[in-house]
Amino acid sequence: MRAVRIAGAVLVVSALAAAVLVDARAEAPLTITRHYTPADRVSGRYQYVPFEVPAGTATLRVSSQYDRVDGDNVVDLGVFEPGPLDLGTHAFRGYSGGAKTGFEIGARETSSGYRPGPLPPGQWHVMLGLYKVAERGVDVTLTIETEAGPPGPAARPLHVPVAIPPSTAPAGWLMGALHTHTLHSDGTVSPAEIMRITRDAGFDFVAITDHNNTTHTYELARDAALPARPLWIAGEEVTTPGGHASVWGLDHGEWVDFRVGPGDRRIADLVGAARRLGGLFSVNHPASTCVACGWEHAFVDGIEAMEISNGRHGEVTGALAMWDKLLRSGRRITGVGSSDWHSAPNPIDVANVRVYSPALTQDAILGAIRAGRVIVVNGAQEATPQVVVRAGNRTAGIGDSLAISESTVATIDVHAPGLVYGRLLIVGNGGTPVDVPLDDRGRARVERPVQFGYVRFEFRRQDQWPVAYTNPVYIVRQ
Output the smallest distance, CB 235 to Zn ion, in A: 10
Output the smallest distance, CB 304 to Zn ion, in A: 18
Nearer to Zn ion, 229 or 244 (CB): 244
Nearer to Zn ion, 288 or 384 (CB): 288
By CB under 5 A, name the one of 184, 244, 259, 297 that touches Zn ion.
244
| Contact (Cβ atoms closer than 8 angstroms) between residue 62 and residue 71 | no
Burial of residue 478 (CB within 10 Å: 0-12, 13-18, 19+) is exposed
Chain centroid offset of residue 145 CA: 32
Residues 385-424, mask of contacts with Zn ion (x by CB under 5 A): ----------------------------------------
* Listed ranges 42-50, 141-149, 233-241, 254-262: which one lies at the site for Zn ion (CB under 5 A): 233-241
Output the smallest distance, CB 333 to Zn ion, in A: 18
DSSP-assigned states of every residue in 281-324: EEE-STT--STTTS--S---TT--EEEEEESSS--HHHHHHHHH
Output the smallest distance, CB 237 to Zn ion, in A: 5
The DSSP output letter for 400 is -
CA end-to-end distance (rounded Å), the chain: 68
Q: How many residues line the site for Zn ion (CB under 5 A)? A: 4
DSSP-assigned states of every residue in 218-257: HHHHHSSPPPSSSEEEEEEEEEETTEEEEEE---TT----
297 lies in the binding site for Zn ion (CB under 5 A): no
Output the smallest distance, CB 376 to Zn ion, in A: 16
| All residues at 6 or more sequence positions from 32 whose CB lies less than 8 Å from its CB, including other chains | 3, 4, 49, 51, 141, 142, 144
* Listed ranges 51-59, 60-68, 333-341, 427-435: which one lies at the site for Zn ion (CB under 5 A): 333-341
By CB under 5 A, name the one of 340, 349, 382, 458 that touches Zn ion.
340
* Listed ranges 32-40, 251-259, 281-289, 439-447: which one lies at the site for Zn ion (CB under 5 A): 281-289
Hey, how many other C-beta atoms are within 10 angstroms of the C-beta on 456? 25
Output the smallest distance, CB 293 to Zn ion, in A: 6
* Listed ranges 42-50, 109-117, 122-130, 277-285: which one lies at the site for Zn ion (CB under 5 A): 277-285
Three-state DSSP class for 64? strand
Output the smallest distance, CB 225 to Zn ion, in A: 27
Nearer to Zn ion, 185 or 470 (CB): 185
| All residues at 6 or more sequence positions from 400 whose CB lies less than 8 Å from its CB, including other chains | 473, 474
Output the smallest distance, CB 244 to Zn ion, in A: 4
Binding to Zn ion in span 125-184, by CB under 5 A: none
| All residues at 6 or more sequence positions from 188 whose CB lies less than 8 Å from its CB, including other chains | 342, 343, 344
Nearer to Zn ion, 216 or 244 (CB): 244
Output the smallest distance, CB 213 to Zn ion, in A: 13
DSSP-assigned states of every residue in 172-201: EEEEEEEEE--TTTT-SS-HHHHHHHHHHT
H or E segment and range at residue 50:
strand 46-53
Nearer to Zn ion, 39 or 290 (CB): 290
Nearer to Zn ion, 244 or 423 (CB): 244
Q: Of the candidates 144, 142, 115, which has an alpha carbon nearest to the alpha carbon of residue 221?
A: 115
* Listed ranges 12-20, 282-290, 315-323, 423-431: which one lies at the site for Zn ion (CB under 5 A): 282-290
| Contact (Cβ atoms closer than 8 angstroms) between residue 369 and residue 305 | yes
Q: Cα–Cα distance between 398 and 474 in angstroms, integer? A: 9
Nearer to Zn ion, 109 or 193 (CB): 193
| Contact (Cβ atoms closer than 8 angstroms) between residue 372 and residue 332 | yes
Residues 72-111, mask of contacts with Zn ion (x by CB under 5 A): ----------------------------------------
H or E segment and range at residue 20:
helix 15-20
Nearer to Zn ion, 312 or 460 (CB): 312
* Listed ranges 64-72, 335-343, 360-368, 401-409: which one lies at the site for Zn ion (CB under 5 A): 335-343
Q: Of the candidates 104, 20, 15, 7, which has an alpha carbon nearest to the alpha carbon of residue 57?
A: 104
Output the smallest distance, CB 181 to Zn ion, in A: 6
Output the smallest distance, CB 284 to Zn ion, in A: 5
Nearer to Zn ion, 47 or 310 (CB): 310
Output the smallest distance, CB 49 to Zn ion, in A: 26
Nearer to Zn ion, 284 or 357 (CB): 284
Burial of residue 29 (CB within 10 Å: 0-12, 13-18, 19+) is middle
Nearer to Zn ion, 45 or 244 (CB): 244
Nearer to Zn ion, 183 or 396 (CB): 183
Q: Rule CB under 5 A: which residues touch Zn ion?
A: 237, 244, 284, 340
